[in-house]
Amino acid sequence: MDAVLDHVMMRVEDLDESLEWYRTHLDYEEKGRWEADTFTNVFLGPEEMHEDGALLELTYNHDGRSYELGDAWGHIAVRVPEDELESSYQQLMDEGVEDYRDPESCGGRYAFVKDPDGHEVEIVTRDHGAKWSLDHTMIRVEDADDALGWYVRKLEYEHTGRWESDTFANYFVKRADAAPEEMAVELTYNYDGRSYTMGDAWGHLAVRVDDLEDGWQTLMDRHAEEYRDPESCGYDYAFTKDVDGHEIELVTR
């Protein structure tokens, strides 16, 4: 099953403000838009991005609702060149972005800022990919073995890296033979056995398949959760859930 990580969706309370933030600070441009009667989806990414690079989907519901972040979803991460962590963070500070976790407080390895809705955005250094392109999306899991097994068996993803500390571990997965520029999923497992609140400010991860119905049938054969099948979604997309309840959308581009 060739399932490319296509986009990550987050909900926002003021679409114009959010669009301005990502355009101004991350140099994102609009790649696509879907206008419905009750909501708007806008897809964003850097001007120069890999053909299999992931997009950021901002969803705005027209009824003015507010959202809870929860803690089951952690952050998105964006790339900067290897020698530009300090300068890139300072650029954001000069532009008025919230000073959340600077490079020094993170051991000079990464940094964090927040967007207008409080979504955390990690800055990581990479020697590949367009500046500010999406590097990974972090989600928290309650059982690392179960979570890794789900992504390996259901999506045929590979375990591409790990970071283990005294209190937690991070595991990175992405599809086999993925280009370095593709987004990964970071599974964070805390050793203390805590549970997480899903919240509704983060929506889903989306994977792109060549054929929607074939991809869906493969997941059903592998006993993935039948959450929203292609027929219920007008054969435009479909949704399953991973073992921790994170929604996974199937799309075709």
As annotated, the active-site residues are: 122
> Is residue 215 within 8 Å of residue 250, measured between CB atoms?
yes
Cβ partners under 8 Å of residue 164, min gap 6: 170
**In whole angstroms, how far apart are CA 40 and each of 151, 212, 252?**
29, 23, 19
* Both structure tokens of 199: 């919240």
> Is residue 112 within 8 Å of residue 122, measured between CB atoms?
yes
- Burial pattern 225-239, b for ≥16 Cβ within 10 A else e, equals beebbbeebeeeebb
The C-alpha atoms of residue 143 and residue 125 are separated, in whole angstroms, by: 28
Amino acid at 77: A
Phi, psi of 20 (to 5 degrees): -65, -40
Q: How many H helices and E strands in the chain?
A: 4, 14
Reduced to 3 states (helix: H, G, I; strand: E, B; else coil), residue 121 is: strand
The C-alpha atoms of residue 230 and residue 98 are separated, in whole angstroms, by: 41
